[in-house]
Amino acid sequence: MRISTIAAVATNGVIGKDNDLVWSLPTDMRFFMETTAGHVVITGRKNYESIPEKYRPLKGRTNIVITRNRDYRAEGAIVVHDLRDALDKAHAMGETECFIIGGGQIYRHALVGNMVDTQYITHVDASPEGDAFYPDDAWAGWSEEELRAHEADEKHNHGYVIKRYERPTT
Ligand SMILES: NC(=O)c1ccc[n+]([C@@H]2O[C@H](COP(=O)([O-])OP(=O)(O)OC[C@H]3O[C@@H](n4cnc5c(N)ncnc54)[C@H](OP(=O)(O)O)[C@@H]3O)[C@@H](O)[C@H]2O)c1
């Protein structure tokens, strides 16, 4: 099973502030929804709760929420207490590619733990203030392919480039 992260990251590494996103990029959101459709998505409890209630669990995908809280319940989602357990559950379901969808703590855990094969990164041309970050240079030394690019316009407050990074095979 391929283990992928998918994230939109500012040039200063910021991914969010006050448990919310710091930009509005509708076509990038569409890329996220298309890419993860039909797959298992794994999320930290804070990121899960940042999704507007009417959109969670994210439709058309199996949502797995990670929390240390043994009493936590999320209707329509699977709750686990460990990232490894989330990955094992995805594997047991026959998943071929699962997506770690954030936030900062869960991305870090997965990348520092060398669990990730592929990173889908939307590089956002902005340096906003924030309090949640993607790990620095997490793609250094990985092979990269540009997938899409988008200029800032009336619906997108920043331009961006989406790249897919693959872990070196050696
Ligand atoms: N730009 C993007 O692509 C993107 C994507 C996703 C999220 N975000 C942003 O990221 C921010 C949220 O990220 P965050 O780092 O604050 O939180 P997070 O990673 O979403 O969730 C953190 C929570 O996960 C649980 N957790 C973390 N490590 C754990 C472990 N080892 N074992 C068990 N549970 C564990 C804990 O839940 P409990 O406290 O319940 O125990 C912890 O409080 C928001 O601003 C969001 O908008 C941005």
Q: Give the tens place of pLDDT for each residue, 68-82.
A: 999 999 999 999 999
Helix (H, G, I), strand (E, B) or coil at 149: strand
* C-alpha 103 – ligand 1 centre gap (Å): 4
Residue 133, SS3 per DSSP: strand
Q: How far, in Å, is the centroid of ligand 1 from the Cα of 89? A: 19
| The overall pTM is greater than 0.85 | yes
Two structure tokens written together for 137: 């240079």
The residue contributing the CA closest to ligand 1 atom 12 is: 103
Share of the chain above pLDDT 70, in %: 99
What mean pLDDT is predicted for residues 139-148? Answer: 97
Say yes or no to pLDDT of 170 above 80.
no
Ligand 1 proximal residues by C-beta, below 6 Å: 7-8, 15-17, 19-21, 44-47, 50, 66-69, 81-82, 101-106, 109, 132
For 26-48, write each residue's pLDDT tens digit.
Answer: 999 999 999 999 999 999 999 99
Instruction: Give dist(CA 115, CA 5) in Å, integer.
Output: 10
Q: What is the mean pLDDT of residues 101-113?
A: 97
Residues 44 and 102: their CA atoms lie apart, in Å, by 6
**Domains of the chain in sequence order:** 2-112+126-166 (3.40.430.10)
Residue 97 has what pLDDT? 98
Give alpha helix (H) positions in 10-161. Answer: 26-36, 45-50, 83-92, 104-112
43 Cα: distance to centroid of ligand 1 (angstroms)? 7
Atom of ligand 1 nearest to the CA of 106: 19
Would you state the pLDDT for residue 169?
83
Determine the residue type at 17. Answer: K
